[in-house]
Amino acid sequence: MIRLIKRPEPSRVMVYLAPVIALVLTLLAGLLLFFLLGVPVGEALYAFFVEPISTRYGLAELGVKAAPLILIGAALSLGFRAQVWNIGAEGQLVAGAITGGAVALWFYEVEAWYVLPLMMLAGIAGGMAWASIPALLKTRFNASEILTSLMLTYIAGLLLSLLVHGALRDPDGFNFPESRLFHAAATLPIVLDGTRLHIGFPIAIMFVATLWILLSRTVLGFELQVMGAAPRAGRFAGFRESSVIWFCLLLGGGAAGLAGLFEVAGPIGQLIPVVSPGYGFTAIIVAFLGRLHPVGVLFAGLVMALSYLGGESAQITMNLPKAVTGVFQGLLLFFLLATDVLILYRFGWGRRSLAATHT
């Protein structure tokens, strides 16, 4: 008889081993999925996990996909540590794309160095402004930031659709719902010739390094960890819960807004009705897969970026449905949550005695 036995204290080994076990279980589930779909398992695995990164261009595309996931996931990880549950990063990404893209369109015929920095600042400000709504509702009315931030995601998407169908629509675009193509001065510089890898990826890495220093070397980082682990002790020490809520939500909103700007000023090059394949939601998985640590998020972001590339590759080469990407991401989250049980519990074998059962 297999049963779970509570550990005397949480296992530090399982904290880092659980994501690895979850990845292995996801891979095994993928084998079963491909078998049930009736496709050659070996070819499908190669198309999903190996072929996308087998070339220099493929590795660059991995960085393009990973940049927004790392940015948002790293910021969310700090908030989740402090028990601030920002689930609306997708909407904040869209808000940043709108404000940053609006700046690009305002300076449409201006070819100057300051256009792109202004777009970045506008993207950050747009994401922060969108995140300030659930922050205000939480601190003023104790409204759940989970619900408010999530509902605002759909409002942001509808607002973007309204704008590209109206005020920001390309006047020479034959009535298609899209903006003008951004001027060269309003697009991100390429860091690897012959690819689409832009400056957003090194910025994401620097952002991770900054948050790691903040978390491990500053009083603010200590405050975030205390307020998440023991809120009553934090309040007794003089830490203000409202300040933590505002900081975490604005940090997540600003990072998501910048990620949105990177999308429209990078691979897309204009505003369109859909600017994200769901990076804001996937970044939640990235944060937990990375153990809510900025450095872990860096590697988790690369893993999840591979799921996007793998889904596209399998769709082209194996004629698999587009939904296979979402299935893999959902399986990974499911197995990660399941294996996290092993941090507090371990498996035990044997039968309980009759006396122990009655007690």
pLDDT classification of 129: cutoffs 50, 70, 90: very high
Asked if residue 355 is part of any domain, the answer here is: no
Domain count, the chain: 1
Q: 75 lies in which domain range?
A: 66-310
SS3 state at 323: coil
Whole-number pLDDT of residue 352: 53
- DSSP state at residue 157: H
Q: What is the arithmetic mean of pLDDT over 79-94?
A: 96
Asked if residue 214 is part of any domain, the answer here is: yes
Whole-number pLDDT of residue 303: 95
DSSP string covering 196-264, please?
A: --BTHHHHHHHHHHHHHHHHHHSHHHHHHHHHHH-HHHHHHTT--HHHHHHHHHHHHHHHHHHHHHHHI
Higher-confidence residue of 1 and 260: namely 260
- pTM summary value: 0.93
pLDDT classification of 62: cutoffs 50, 70, 90: very high
How far is it, in rounded angstroms, from Cα 321 to Cα 212?
Answer: 38
- pLDDT for 14-37, tens place per residue? 998 999 999 999 999 989 988 888
Tokens at 356, concatenated: 């122990």
Whole-number pLDDT of residue 64: 97
pLDDT at 287 over 90: yes
Asked if residue 292 is part of any domain, the answer here is: yes
Given the structure tokens 């590759």, which residue do they identify? 313
Asked if residue 34 is part of any domain, the answer here is: no
pLDDT classification of 321: cutoffs 50, 70, 90: confident
Asked if residue 336 is part of any domain, the answer here is: no
Whole-number pLDDT of residue 351: 61
Q: What is the arithmetic mean of pLDDT over 176-203?
A: 95
pLDDT at 1 over 80: no
Provide the 10 A C-beta neighbour count for residue 205: 17
Tokens at 166, concatenated: 């109206």
Asked if residue 154 is part of any domain, the answer here is: yes
- pLDDT for 303-314, tens place per residue? 999 999 999 998
Task: Please provide the size of the chain in residues.
Answer: 359
Higher-confidence residue of 72 and 9: namely 72
Whole-number pLDDT of residue 357: 42
In this prediction, what percent of the chain has a pLDDT beyond 70?
97
pLDDT at 45 over 70: yes
Residue 349's beta-bridge partner residues? Answer: 2
Average pLDDT, the chain: 92
pLDDT classification of 237: cutoffs 50, 70, 90: confident
Q: What is the arithmetic mean of pLDDT over 32-60?
A: 91
Whole-number pLDDT of residue 38: 87
The CATH code of the domain that includes 231 is: 1.10.3470
